[in-house]
Structure 1
Amino acid sequence: MKTQPQSPVRLSPAADLVAAFVSTGAALGDRADLAHFLRAHRLAAEGAIPITLADLDEAIALREGIRAVLEQAAEPDQEALARGQKVLDGLRVTVRLQPSQEQLAPAVVDEVRRGLARIAGAWATVLASGEWRHLRR
């Protein structure tokens, strides 16, 4: 019996953002790289973004935590999960009452944390929709 080729899965904007974030690899090596990523994905305004080393560490911890979930390992990296969860726990987001593209929105003023909160919101959307299964590495 001949099997039909599966059509490619079209990812949502939230899944596209998560996929781009987890695939940064060495491209997220310093604060300038983080600023570039945030601007390129419209998570921060153009111009100077004051990014601390702590901000960069949080971004990397969040990325590694999401990667730990997406990897098909039988036992995910528990340290990466814990560090990523700690970042998520420290982000302030608010739930939108009206349906929109962004159900979880940043509730912070700092541009870097607002960008990370948008990534967190995208991750929540990807988890809720089940799309994370299509992002497995």
Structure 2
Amino acid sequence: MTTPTTQSSAATLINAFARTGEALGDRADLARFLREHRLVTEGAIPITLADFDEAVALRDAVRAQLASVAGAPADPDVLARGQRVLDGLRMTVRLVPGDAAPSPLQPAVVDEVRRGLARIAAAWAVVLATGEWREITV
């Protein structure tokens, strides 16, 4: 008998983001994903084409890195585009993250879409730090 394991909230978010595939086909889909995962507030979210492109680049890079565990070669260009997105997201570390926060890393940006992407980046940092990323299959 095996012991069931439960994914952390960070791993659950990364898993959902990596698996969006065709479900992340346009800006409305991105808004829906960000709202469904409570990464943004409920108000209107103006999403530019650049925002959407960044989200897709980040998703593709995360997916490529996750697939590399199973032996799939990760395209260096895909990883570089995703890294550029991560490099552009501002984060801060909270002394006391609170019970609801999946990470002590919190967005330090005011734009709703970038704040949502920063929350995904924080979840990625958590799964990297814990090694959980190796258990997420795509």
Task: State TM-score, norm by structure 2.
Answer: 0.91
Bigger CA drift: 124-133 or 90-99? 90-99
Q: Does 1:83 align with 2:84?
A: no
Listed one character per residue, the Cα deviations across residues 36-65 of structure 1 (whole Å, up to 9, x for unaligned) are: 000000011112100000000000000001
Q: Separation in 2 of the partners of 1:63 and 1:117?
A: 12
What does 1:1-137 align with in structure 2 at a 5 Å threshold? 5-71=1-67, 72-98=70-96, 100=98, 101-137=102-138
How far does residue 102 in structure 1 lie from its aligned partner after superposition?
2.2
Q: Separation in 2 of the partners of 1:30 and 1:14?
A: 24
How far does residue 26 in structure 1 lie from its aligned partner after superposition?
0.5
Q: Separation in 2 of the partners of 1:79 and 1:11?
A: 29
Structure of larger gyration radius: 1
- Structure 1 runs (4+) greater than 4 angstroms displaced: none
How far does residue 103 in structure 1 lie from its aligned partner after superposition?
1.1
What SS does structure 2 have at the residue aligned with 1:39?
helix
Task: State the one-letter code of the partner of 2:17.
Answer: F
List gaps (5 residues or longer) in structure 1: none
What SS does structure 2 have at the residue aligned with 1:87?
helix
Q: How many residues align?
A: 133
Q: Separation in 1 of the partners of 2:105 and 2:14?
A: 14
Identity over the aligned pairs, expressed in percent? Answer: 65
What SS does structure 2 have at the residue aligned with 1:57?
helix
Task: State the one-letter code of the partner of 2:61.
Answer: G
Task: State TM-score, norm by structure 1.
Answer: 0.92
How far does residue 99 in structure 1 lie from its aligned partner after superposition?
5.1
